[in-house]
Structure 1
Amino acid sequence: MRAASTTPTHVGLVVLGGSALLPFLGLQEYWIYTLTIGFYYAILAASWSLLVGYVGRISFAQAAMSGLGAYASILTVQHLGWPLPLALAAGVLLAGVTGLFIGWLTLRLHGAYLGLTTIAFGEILRIAATAEHGLTAGSLGLRATPLIPGGSATVYYYVFLGATIVCLGLMLLMLHSRVGLFFQAIREDEDGAASLGVEVTTWKIVAFAVSSAFAGFAGGLYAHFVQLITPSMMSLQEMGFVLAMAVIGGFHNVVFAALGGLVLQVALEALRSVGEWRLVVFGLAAILVLRFAPNGLFGTVAALVTRKGKKP
């Protein structure tokens, strides 16, 4: 079993926390807004990393889980009159329960079969959201109440930064507990873990549920920030962005995956002038990282720094 070094993770958290200084450095409001969206992707990439990097189970439904949390949060406010905290909790719960179902449904599936099943499930959710005009307004989009009425871009920035740090903290607490050991044991040797008494079936389902719950939370926050969501946030293209962010950052570490989400969202905006070619750049970057730096950019840098630090 691979033992993760905590020092690089702590450095990553410090770097993330250091971004709290950016609004004081005269950053334009446009880039403050871009970074806020980046924190949304950071939570999504970290939640995908939690499932893939630590449990060894792949899912292409993460963006769909985010959309599910977003729609649940908006609709509970609109139709039930729930306050935003309860509405966000409803989105987390619905996404978590759906992840629980996916985990149970795909227990015996591996590799390509598991991936195809989660793709199909995500597409079913997206198509349902598009077709159900009466409830979701279809492709026209559903308007949401603001997360912070009258809040400035800087206020939203700090809310999303805080949410990202809290989510990463909860993930790390879980991963450094017995639950995390069970997850990694399943990833390394499922049969061996079962022979040692690990309830493999139970913990795989739990992993899907927890990963989906974090995605649902991210989606709820995002919905009440941008105040208009469409089924496109559940598309395979969005899932591709999340996957590329986690892979380029380093999907074997939730903090590195989160940093990948943040940095690549900024890069995506910086390359907006080249149009659709930026997606090609994204894809090529993910392929090159997988080929030459399988631990991701941040994982590779952390390994080099750690190696140099051990030299006399």
Structure 2
Amino acid sequence: MALCRILNDDNQPQAALYDNGRVCLLEGAPNDCSLFDLANRQFSSVPQDANWQPAPGKFLPPVPTPEKVICIGLNYRDHAIETGSEIPSEPVVFNKFVSTIIGDQDAIVLPKVSDQVDYEAELVVVIGKGGKHISKASAMDHVFGYTCGHDVSARDWQKGRPGGQWLLGKTFDTFAPIGPWVVTKDEMPDPSDVRVQLILNGETMQDSTTAQLIFDIPELIEHVSKICKLQPGDLIFTGTPPGVGAARKPPVFLKPGDICEVKIDGIGTLTNPCVAE
């Protein structure tokens, strides 16, 4: 079972359950699909009078307006090595603006001011219970679920600008596709060895598992919550496997007409086409 957002018959956003190609609208759920409200109302279980219908071809972003989009860099050992970076001794943290969030089938807009836009498939953690100074031992109690994420990155801004502009290189509009839905924690009780792939135009470019993470999910939650209070609905992009375009010889950067697919076992596939600005 998973939580999603779709357009209802009145063309309005509607929270819904997703299961095996079917959806069940959650009447009375907030239109912004607040995960805090959904969790408290226990909408993650199937209502007794559930009215299931075929899933639509388009899903809205499952978390449209998170307060924070937190991202972890260089968190797969092999990826750190391929970029020529030192293995981090603590998590490398950056963020994206909410304007980066798009959903499944939405277009990644390749900016006019960049010609080195890269792909990064990632498992994304969705926070369900807020808190600060969360211990590693209790961190998973704060997880609501997981979704597929794509940390689209303009390398010529991230690394090629004075001082290294990680924020600007990562936060162009549409640079954080997520979805198609959020799999609740009970559906993926052990995220520590989950396969993560990026398929570009039918060719597998990234293929690894979360067993290769340098810092696992509890460590990330403990670390970030030392700095800022986590809120329900916050997203944590956990890092990307090796195989990014910038590390290839010759480099492979996204171009108009490309189709990107992020596939994560236990969740599904997030698909986004690329278009020119």
TM-score normalized by structure 2?
Answer: 0.29
- Highest RCO, 1 vs 2 (Cα 8 Å, sep ≥ 6): 1
Greater C-alpha Rg: 1
Between Structure 1 and Structure 2, the one with more strand by share is 2
TM-score normalized by structure 1?
Answer: 0.26
Between Structure 1 and Structure 2, the one with more helix by share is 1
